[in-house]
Structure 1
Amino acid sequence: MDSDRRRIAHLDMDAFYASVELLRYPQLRGQAVVIGGGSAARPVLQEDGSLQFARLRDYTGRGVVTTSTYEARALGVFSAMGIMKAAQLAPDAILLPTDFDAYRRCSRAFKEAVAGIAPLIEDRGIDEIYIDLSEWPDEAEDVARRIKQAVHEATSLTCSVGVAPNKLLAKICSELDKPNGLTMLCREDIALRIWPLQARKINGIGPKAAEKLTALGIHTVGDLAQAEPELLRAHFGRSYSEWLYNASHGIDERPVVTSSEPKSISRETTFERDLHARHDKAKLSEIFTALCKRLSEDLDRKGYVGRTIGIKLRYSDFRGVTRDVTLPAPTDDAAAIRQAAGECLRRVPLEQRLRLLGVRVGTLSKKSEMEEAPQLIQQELPFSD
């Protein structure tokens, strides 16, 4: 493909989880809404038929913000922020629990809508994809508009799309005109549209690298593009400094990968309060069983079975530990996953309180290519009743 004819789009759903919730609660449109609460944040039906919503100021716990509406973001509330900290910034903001089943349904719907127009898609997560539009180099903007319309018709949600000569630039562009934006960029626009941006806007420049660049007096993408290669090499090494140079000049040859096999599938949850394996045995057993069941459903839906079953624990002091076991045959059965994960639990100390529990299945195989895996004999587990 001639690089001058290459057109790659990055589609990013706008405040995805929050937008899905606003479909359910349209009366909250235009308000500061935060997604990330547990079951206690569920709206309560009043006698008069109205709903009473939880407020951030009433939250107690250690949860984190999953996402927030743009009105909440204007108050400084962003994803991955502790909800208690968010409550200090926006005490009157409404708090809603997460509903990942609803988000996954909506995710499948928007991706199917896009595939009906442009099937060369690279799935990058629940709310974003890359799309190869190189088949329509001269009509890419029209195709992108059709895609945005199709997504809205399928989900009633908006998305933002950036179209550029490669994936790196397309991802940057999709953020420039949010929400409901469409940004077209050609190589001649890099100096005008990309170089004035903060260097950290480049996907792949993390907080530590951004901090080091700032210390060197490199603040914008343009600063980075004009930096001496020797300076970058001295502070970042040969490989990463070359990537920094290429990225700042909008050079990216990565293809749109239309299919990829996951290495593992996992489920985990952070508790609203620390739980103890003995004192909170019933609660942990319930959570543990639910994680394994949901993981089994994920495997079945995606068509995989796996042989390696693992657990992830994080103690109250934030120390983490993982363990795994390899089964004689692959499985997607919830009871078998729970049994194997229980064997892993026996190999870790459970005297301390826990703040996080996760279960993972790896060494995956396509279910269609495997015979039905034998089930393991159920045994008593550390969290079993």
Structure 2
Amino acid sequence: MTLDTRRIAHLDMDAFYASVELLRYPELRGQPVVIGGGRDAIPETLADGSRRFRRLRDYAGRGVVTTSTYEARALGVFSAMGMMKAAQLAPDAILLPTDFDSYRHYSRLFKAAIATFTLQIENRGIDEIYIDVTDLPGDARDIGARMKQAVREATGLTCSICIAPNKLLAKIGSELDKPDGLTLLTMDDLERRIWPLPARKVNGIGPKASEKLAALGFHTVGDLAAADLGVLQTHFGRSYAAWLAQIAQGHDDRPVVVSSEPKSMSRETTFERDLHPRHDRAVLSAAFTGLCVRVAEDLARKGYLGRTVGIKLRFDDFRTVTRDLTIPAPTADATAIRRAATECLKRITLDRKLRLLGVRVSALTDEKHVDVPEPVQAELPFDHDA
């Protein structure tokens, strides 16, 4: 097999979180729906069995949109947008809370459905995977159609699939015909379907790079394909310029990585209001402990221990501070994680209100190969007035 003969699929679930919610609330199909509210966004069940939903105009806080239906996206509401801004764009949109347990359940279902075809699967997150279908019998369109049907039967949801010669083109292609798309790309389609796309559509060209490229007159992938390599090197450096030139020609030799080890696990929360390290110490302490517990549960569920514990704080002036500590023995115990996180916290001057709090554990090891010592309890700096 050569790189030119590979068949790599990228499967992306359509508006995944929102679509899962529409299974629960089918009466909302066809309406603009925004996911990201808290508990107060849970629908109210009325005496006649009908449901009353919150509207986005009723939201007050500083949360962000987790996802939205295509109808809400048509109004300009997209993932990671601030809720208050979204409310200005689509005040009548339905607001629903997030339910990550349900999303993880449906994620497992669609991945299990694809695993009946092949185990050559690279997990890229809760709603997307790469699949090496090179050795599967049948033509690409038939393979893609059968996979889409299997996902629909297992979950009741639609997905979009692109089958292409490599991961780069498969990732781009899965967005071209959403929702419920089946896209086939070859190198012959590069000029017609890929080059007209904005450069930012390429995974790896972020907002800053996109802005810089635009300032230099490179707006599309085709512009990059025609760019002088020397100009790119002058502005982006040798390695990134070489990568830009390569991807503009549709080249990507990365394999589908079937087994990948996570580098870290983390949890964070953005508070509805800024919290004072002393006056709100009880709330902060409970939140910090909760984050440690959830990270510990994530580690235990996936069978890992970690040696480096880190924290992340964002103050009310949007300044973000991180600290890390490597402990003597790896752990998945919430108390041990909290103790190490406390030591990190002591190295930060808590002189402003807090907007965000996060806990991370990295330097992960398979728990089967490690002996774990007994943890020791510790207190946070804002546990007491002192």
Quote the Cα distance in structure 2 between the aligned partners of 1:237 and 1:74: 38
8 Å CA contact 1:7–1:137 kept in 2: the answer is no
Q: Which structure 1 residue ranges, 4+ long, deviate > 4 Å from structure 2? A: none
Match of 1:380 in 2: 379
Shift of the 283–44 alpha-carbon distance from structure 1 to 2, 3 Å rule, reads: farther
- Give TM-score scaled by structure 2 length: 0.95
Gaps of 5+ in 2: none
- Give TM-score scaled by structure 1 length: 0.95
Shift of the 47–288 alpha-carbon distance from structure 1 to 2, 3 Å rule, reads: farther
8 Å CA contact 1:121–1:256 kept in 2: the answer is yes
Match of 1:9 in 2: 9
Deviation (angstroms), 1:299: 0.5
8 Å CA contact 2:36–2:64 kept in 1: the answer is yes
Match of 1:370 in 2: 370
Quote the Cα distance in structure 2 between the aligned partners of 1:243 and 1:6: 21
Deviation (angstroms), 1:169: 0.4
Quote the Cα distance in structure 2 between the aligned partners of 1:46 and 1:340: 47
Structure 1 position 32 matched with structure 2 position 36: no
Map Cα deviations across residues 119-151 of structure 1 (whole Å, 9 max, x no partner).
111111111111111113752322222211121
Quote the Cα distance in structure 2 between the aligned partners of 1:283 and 1:49: 36
Q: Give the match's secondary structure for 1:176.
A: coil
Match of 1:232 in 2: 232
Deviation (angstroms), 1:18: 0.9
Deviation (angstroms), 1:88: 0.6
Equivalent residues in 2 for 1:207-356 (5 A)? Answer: 207-356=207-356
Quote the Cα distance in structure 2 between the aligned partners of 1:310 and 1:154: 38
Quote the Cα distance in structure 1 between the aligned partners of 2:208 and 2:4: 34
Quote the Cα distance in structure 2 between the aligned partners of 1:49 and 1:257: 48
Match of 1:104 in 2: 104
Quote the Cα distance in structure 1 between the aligned partners of 2:50 and 2:124: 38
Shift of the 53–335 alpha-carbon distance from structure 1 to 2, 3 Å rule, reads: same
Identity percentage of aligned residues: 69
Quote the Cα distance in structure 2 between the aligned partners of 1:349 and 1:46: 49
8 Å CA contact 2:333–2:375 kept in 1: the answer is no
Structure 1 position 185 matched with structure 2 position 185: yes
Gaps of 5+ in 1: none
Quote the Cα distance in structure 1 between the aligned partners of 2:197 and 2:127: 24
**Which range is displaced more, 39-48 or 74-83?**
39-48
Root-mean-square deviation (CA), in Å? 1.6
Quote the Cα distance in structure 2 between the aligned partners of 1:53 and 1:227: 51
**Which range is displaced more, 135-144 or 8-17?**
135-144
Q: Give the match's secondary structure for 1:310.
A: strand
**Which range is displaced more, 276-285 or 85-94?**
276-285
| Amino acid aligned to 1:132 | D
Map Cα deviations across residues 136-177 of structure 1 (whole Å, 9 max, x no partner).
375232222221112112211111011100000000100000
Map Cα deviations across residues 258-296 of structure 1 (whole Å, 9 max, x no partner).
112112111111111111222222222222222112111
Quote the Cα distance in structure 1 between the aligned partners of 2:307 and 2:104: 25
Deviation (angstroms), 1:59: 1.0
Question: How many residues were matched structurally?
Answer: 384
Match of 1:65 in 2: 65
Map Cα deviations across residues 227-255 of structure 1 (whole Å, 9 max, x no partner).
22233233222222221111111111111
Equivalent residues in 2 for 1:22-171 (5 A)? Answer: 22-136=22-136, 139-171=139-171
Quote the Cα distance in structure 2 between the aligned partners of 1:255 and 1:324: 33
Q: Give the match's secondary structure for 2:365.
A: strand
Map Cα deviations across residues 326-370 of structure 1 (whole Å, 9 max, x no partner).
222211112222222223223322232111111111111101222
Quote the Cα distance in structure 2 between the aligned partners of 1:213 and 1:27: 44
